[in-house]
A and B are shown apart, each in its own frame.
Chain A
Amino acid sequence: MAIAVQSGRRRTKRGSSLPIFLVAPAVILLLLFTIAPAIYAIDLSFLHLKISGGLLGIGAPKEVWAGFANYIATLTDPEFWSSLGRMLIVAVIGVPATIFFATLFALCLDVKRARLVGFTRLAIFLPYAVPGVVASLLWGFMYLPATSPIGGQIINYFGTTGVFFSVTNVAVWGVVGFNMVILYTAVRSLPPDLFEAAELDGASELQIALRIKLPLIAPAITMVALFSVIGALQLFNEPTTLKPLTNAITSTWVPLMRVYAQANVNNDIYGGAATSFILIIMTVGLAVIVNLIGRRIVGRESK
């Protein structure tokens, strides 16, 4: 802290060239690799490829102005809305499950009588360190009847309804640990005298957890919810990796898979760019909504 304050003072004295210099690499990289490609993608989304005459085209195909055609094509494609619907189903199952388990584990680990906290915390966190593709393959093998140790012979994990739970399970399994760490840190940073006071008043561990800790970590829970919602919108790895195992998952199963298929399978990077841009707008919109709801909940709690 002291150092930060000091450097802050120095900054005001010496003028502002050093901070700019320090920040410059990050800004340049951001401009080069995030902003510039984004602008290029927006540009692409208003173009499309046209061949001219002949059976297989005379001369190279040209990029021509498409106006909003790509956007209209995406928005009027029933498959786009179906993929969005499937993503929402996964989100509706996955987001509450993530929040519930992450909160549950965080609160359990903070219970006074909890033993082996370090080990358990690591064990719960560990799946987060497993790459999504590996996790999906691992679970995929557990789901398939031929290799399933968890009853895949009896339960159809890739049934028309089951597939949603199977995909969600892989995703939730992967992120619960990460979110648990955020919430656990939030719980640990609460002033312990609050709990002592509650204990003196005769509150049980359960009551302390539900009535004191839970409301106090509500902002952290909101953040976890926001991460989970954004994560749900970015669902791609898990269904893509599970796709070859089953007929239940198509190449347009969730919106991002649809973007990938458009750009890299159907060779229509223009349509893919338009769909991406629509998704970004939706993601930002949803993030704002979740944030507002979260703030309102937190605001109400603190009153």
Chain B
Amino acid sequence: MRKSTLRNVIAAAGILAVAGATLTGCSSSGTTPSANSNKTVHLTFTNWDGGMQTVVDTWNKANPKIQVKLIKPSGTGYTLYNKLITNNKAGTNPDVTEVEYQALPALISNKVVVSLDKYLPNLSTDFSKSALAQVQFQGKTYGVPQNICPMVFFYRKDIFAKDGITTAPTTWAEYAADAAIIHAKNPKQQIGNFTAADPGWFAGLAQQAGANWWTTSGNTWNVAINDAASVKVADYWQGLITKGLVSPEPNWSAQWSTDMNKGNLVGWVGAQWGPNQLPSIAKDTAGKWVAAQLPAWTAGDNTVGIWGGETEAVTSNSKYPAQAAKFVNWMNGSTEGIDSLIKNVQVFPASTPGQALPSLQTPPPFMSNQADYNTLMATAAKGVRTFQIWGPDANVTFDSYSNAFGSALQNKTPLSGALTAMQNATVGDMKKIGFTVSTNAN
């Protein structure tokens, strides 16, 4: 409830003008393309991962002719992607950008990123089919996959043991049984939380259950977000939440951090990158968590979904796509690049030879007690199942997830109804933009 005066507006406009000038100054990637190989090429690279500067420094030291400047984006996720789409017309995008797998189709349909086939013809040999499926569309490759983030189950081994549970739950039925035991022994404690803040989290769980939110046949999209598998997942969590065994609080809030740190939440359905985040969430609990294979729907099934994961893509604004592709391929496809990523950004590489690198034998610092942490990731990565393709407007789907699931949890209405809301929002938007959509369930 603040009155903005004309003076404020003008001041803000002035600041914007200055900022705009500075931004343009930063992001122009050189003046004229040059065939002269002696000239140093300057590339800009947008990425928000902690530790990335060290990786870039490693490249710059080894490649004096192609110098990369790392830019931290002002917003992460879709804030960045929408900015890239808007700036694409103005031609001010960086040469290389981080893109999470689910956002790549949107950037392709808006012609923000370019195909790399011309520059990297031999990409496919180093990557598994499921990794390449994240970056290949209609026979063209749009990025080099960086990492693969299978979902895993983190739990407080000390508290589980105290409650008489000696092994991690291997099935969702066991997870529910353990949840009941933990909550009964100490009503303050819960086995985990259902987060409305993380659409990728639910998508990963749905992938494990066999959902296929987007499929294609020819040029037609089939959208099935409220398919039977997704409803099964929603109903399962609904049961746990209703019984009070699982907290409905969203991830990343101060409440959640406190509950994780104090041991009120004794488990977390997370993903490979968890140990990178946990130190800032639950710093007092380092060494007490153990990661285990995600519980399965049927015993012995090792299928898991992914939560997160990114590729580096070259933008159509780049004046040096060949050099940019070279950098991307070094970072995500070469031994030195992947090694640096493992050590500094704690990634689990998508590249098959990268998964055998010796640097993976050291667990992330937060999991120092679990020496075979990355062996577990390698095993989990083998069981990864994703959607056939991410939709071209997954941003709408994701926003709708947070709103619909958040409201359902708040108002205690069925979670499966939220899936219908997501389905309608997604299909409506796709039709509006002009995609051919059919909504028949498979």
Shortest CB distance B121–A (Å): 22
Chain A residues whose C-beta falls within 8 Å of the C-beta of B249 in the assembled complex: 247
User: Which of A48-56, A206-214, A274-282 participates in binding chain B?
Assistant: A48-56
**In the complex, are the beta carbons of A251 and B403 less than 8 A apart?**
yes
CB of A204 within 8 Å of the partner chain: no
Contacting B at CB under 8 A, from A34-90, are 34, 48-57, 59-61
**In the complex, are the beta carbons of B253 and A29 less than 8 A apart?**
no
Given contacts A57-B109, A147-B254, contact A172 B9 (CB under 8 A): no
**In the complex, are the beta carbons of B432 and A48 less than 8 A apart?**
yes
Alpha-carbon separation in the docked complex, A280 to B108 (Å)? 35
Main secondary structure of the interface of B (DSSP, over half): helix
Given contacts A248-B410, A251-B402, A265-B82, contact A56 B392 (CB under 8 A): yes
Alpha-carbon separation in the docked complex, A51 to B109 (Å)? 8
Chain B residues whose C-beta falls within 8 Å of the C-beta of A54 in the assembled complex: 138, 219
Alpha-carbon separation in the docked complex, A129 to B402 (Å)? 32
**In the complex, are the beta carbons of A33 and B13 less than 8 A apart?**
yes
Task: Find B255's partner among A61, A147, A261 (CB 8 Å cutoff).
Answer: A147
**In the complex, are the beta carbons of A29 and B1 less than 8 A apart?**
no
Shortest CB distance A148–B (Å): 10
CB of A234 within 8 Å of the partner chain: yes
Chain B residues whose C-beta falls within 8 Å of the C-beta of A227 in the assembled complex: 1, 3
Q: How many A-B residue pairs have CB under 8 A?
A: 147
Alpha-carbon separation in the docked complex, A235 to B86 (Å)? 26
CB of B407 within 8 Å of the partner chain: yes
Q: Mark A247-266, 1 if CB is under 8 A from B, else 0.
A: 11111100000000101111
**In the complex, are the beta carbons of A56 and B105 less than 8 A apart?**
yes
Alpha-carbon separation in the docked complex, A141 to B254 (Å)? 7
Chain A residues whose C-beta falls within 8 Å of the C-beta of B106 in the assembled complex: 267
Chain A residues whose C-beta falls within 8 Å of the C-beta of B406 in the assembled complex: 247-250
Q: Mark B345-359, 1 if CB is under 8 A from A, else 0.
A: 000000000000000
**In the complex, are the beta carbons of B250 and A56 less than 8 A apart?**
no
CB of B258 within 8 Å of the partner chain: yes
Q: Contact residue range for chain A?
A: 35 or more
**In the complex, are the beta carbons of B1 and A98 less than 8 A apart?**
yes
CB of A160 within 8 Å of the partner chain: yes
Chain A residues whose C-beta falls within 8 Å of the C-beta of B105 in the assembled complex: 56
Contacting B at CB under 8 A, from A222-272, are 227-228, 230-232, 234-235, 244-252, 261, 263-269
CB of A187 within 8 Å of the partner chain: no
Alpha-carbon separation in the docked complex, A160 to B403 (Å)? 14
Task: Find B82's partner among A26, A49, A175, A267 (CB 8 Å cutoff).
Answer: A267
Chain A residues whose C-beta falls within 8 Å of the C-beta of B110 in the assembled complex: 60-61
**In the complex, are the beta carbons of B109 and A56 less than 8 A apart?**
yes
Chain A residues whose C-beta falls within 8 Å of the C-beta of B79 in the assembled complex: 264-265
Of all chain A residues, the one with the shortest Cβ separation from B398 is: A265
Alpha-carbon separation in the docked complex, A175 to B9 (Å)? 19
Task: Find A252's partner among B4, B392, B403 (CB 8 Å cutoff).
Answer: B403
Alpha-carbon separation in the docked complex, A27 to B210 (Å)? 61
Alpha-carbon separation in the docked complex, A246 to B405 (Å)? 12
**In the complex, are the beta carbons of B433 and A245 less than 8 A apart?**
no
**In the complex, are the beta carbons of A51 and B395 less than 8 A apart?**
no
Contacting A at CB under 8 A, from B184-207, are 196-197
Given contacts A98-B1, A266-B395, contact A29 B14 (CB under 8 A): yes
Contacting A at CB under 8 A, from B101-149, are 105-106, 108-111, 137-138
Shortest CB distance A135–B (Å): 11
**In the complex, are the beta carbons of B429 and A266 less than 8 A apart?**
yes
**In the complex, are the beta carbons of B13 and A171 less than 8 A apart?**
no
CB of B435 within 8 Å of the partner chain: yes
Task: Find B433's partner among A61, A146, A171 (CB 8 Å cutoff).
Answer: A61
Chain B residues whose C-beta falls within 8 Å of the C-beta of A235 in the assembled complex: 1
CB of A294 within 8 Å of the partner chain: no
Task: Find A269's partner among B86, B253, B403, B434 (CB 8 Å cutoff).
Answer: B86
Q: Mark B295-312, 1 if CB is under 8 A from A, else 0.
A: 000000000000000000
**In the complex, are the beta carbons of A250 and B250 less than 8 A apart?**
no
**In the complex, are the beta carbons of A247 and B407 less than 8 A apart?**
yes
Alpha-carbon separation in the docked complex, A264 to B429 (Å)? 15
**In the complex, are the beta carbons of B138 and A172 less than 8 A apart?**
no
Q: Mark B203-234, 1 if CB is under 8 A from A, else 0.
A: 00000000000001011010000000000000
**In the complex, are the beta carbons of A55 and B137 less than 8 A apart?**
yes
- Can you report 5 A-B residue pairs in the complex whose CB atoms are below 8 A from each other? A49-B433, A55-B137, A250-B407, A264-B82, A266-B396
Tell me the B residues contacting A by CB distance below 8 Å.
1-4, 6, 9-10, 13-14, 16-17, 78-79, 81-82, 85-86, 105-106, 108-111, 137-138, 196-197, 216, 218-219, 221, 248-250, 252-255, 257-259, 262, 392-393, 395-396, 399, 402-403, 405-407, 409-411, 429, 432-435
The 9 closest A-B pairs by CB, nearest first: A231-B1, A33-B13, A146-B258, A247-B406, A250-B403, A56-B109, A60-B111, A175-B1, A144-B255
Contacts A53-B219, A246-B410, A265-B79 given; 16 further ones with Cβ under 8 A? A30-B10, A33-B16, A51-B109, A51-B434, A55-B137, A56-B138, A61-B111, A146-B262, A160-B410, A231-B2, A235-B1, A247-B406, A251-B399, A265-B395, A266-B429, A267-B393
